[in-house]
Amino acid sequence: MNFPSLRGFLQVRALPLVFASLTALTACDVGAREQAVQLPDPVLDTPAKGLQTVIFAGGCFWGVQAVFQHSKGVMTAISGYSGGPANKAHYEDVSGGDTGHAESVKVTYDASKISFGQLLKIFMSVAHNPTELNRQGPDSGTQYRSAIFYTSADQHAVAQAYFDQLKAAKSFSKPIVTQLVPLKAFYDAEAYHQDFATLHPDHPYIAYNDLPKVDDLKTLFPTVYRDSIKP
């Protein structure tokens, strides 16, 4: 069977008959799961107020969505696609890795409760590994690249300053490869992808790769973490 990624092999549409072997395949990826890193606060942050939006891409959108859904100040976190054309914004197309799209999460947040700089720190520390080029954990391909699709000049400036700050502090042993790209469009993913980690906590991929990210958020950001995925 030729699947675009381990996650594609494990996704909810897979036949029930293969789940025994799926669990074994997941176990083979011990060590592939991304580990959280404790990072400093950004020196530069945005002065924005009110509701703001940014799109984060950092591998499988299931885990990235879950992390931000459990962050205070985040109003909504929606899984979707960004970077490619509208007519290719479908999971079957994006999984091929040649649409220009990245699996992404649109984060709408109340800037009076959580700043862009704080979200950026969570993204770089807990949600994914910003030094992995075109892959995260067991998933590989340009659709799993690390990117920030910013919606304002302030977001771009804060992100670039934070990258420079982390590089100077040698916070990572490898270079940051996260792309900074102005947002052109975001397309919601299919309904079955939304809230996937919350709805399927026993799914092998979620249990191994994504629930630990939520646990890391709770440990490293105790004042930000919330139990509910709703504000």
CB 161 within 8 Å of CB 120: no
Instruction: Name the helix (H) or strand (E) containing 197.
Output: helix 196-199
74-82/102-110 β-pairing? antiparallel
Average pLDDT, the chain: 89
Q: Is the pLDDT of residue 62 over 60?
A: yes
User: In DSSP terms, which residues pair with 8 in a beta bridge?
Assistant: none
- Report the Cα–Cα distance between both ends of the chain, in Å, rounded: 41
Q: What is the per-residue pLDDT across 151-163, written as a single tens digit (0 to 9) for each?
A: 999 999 999 999 9
| Predicted pLDDT of residue 12 | 44
DSSP letter at 40 equals P
DSSP codes joined into one string, 168-187: HHT-SSS----EEEE---EE
- At 32 the pLDDT is 63
pLDDT of residue 35: 86
Can you give the pLDDT at residue 34? 77
Q: H-helix or E-strand containing 107?
A: strand 102-110
Local confidence band at 48 (pLDDT 50, 70, 90 cut-offs): confident
Cα–Cα dist 76/74, whole Å? 6
Check if CATH label 3.30.1060.10 holds for domain 6-220: yes
Amino acid, res. 81: Y
Question: What pLDDT is stored for residue 18 in this prediction?
Answer: 34
Enumerate the β-bridge partners of residue 79.
105
pLDDT at residue 26 tops 60: no
- Residue of 6, 54, 55, 60 marked catalytic: 60
Whether 60 is catalytic? yes
Whether 123 and 72 have beta carbons less than 8 Å apart is answered as no
Determine contact, residues 45/205, Cβ cutoff 8 Å.
Answer: no
Least confident of 27-36, 42-51, 65-74, 142-151: 27-36
Share of the chain above pLDDT 90, in %: 84
With H, G, I as helix, E, B as strand and everything else as coil, classify residue 134.
Answer: coil
pTM metric for this prediction: 0.89
| Interval 79-98: pLDDT, tens | 999 999 999 999 999 999 99
pLDDT in tens, 143-201: 999 999 999 999 999 999 999 999 999 999 999 999 999 999 999 999 999 999 999 99
Please state the domain extents for the chain.
6-220
- Inter-axis angle of helices 61-69 and 211-220, to 10 degrees? 30
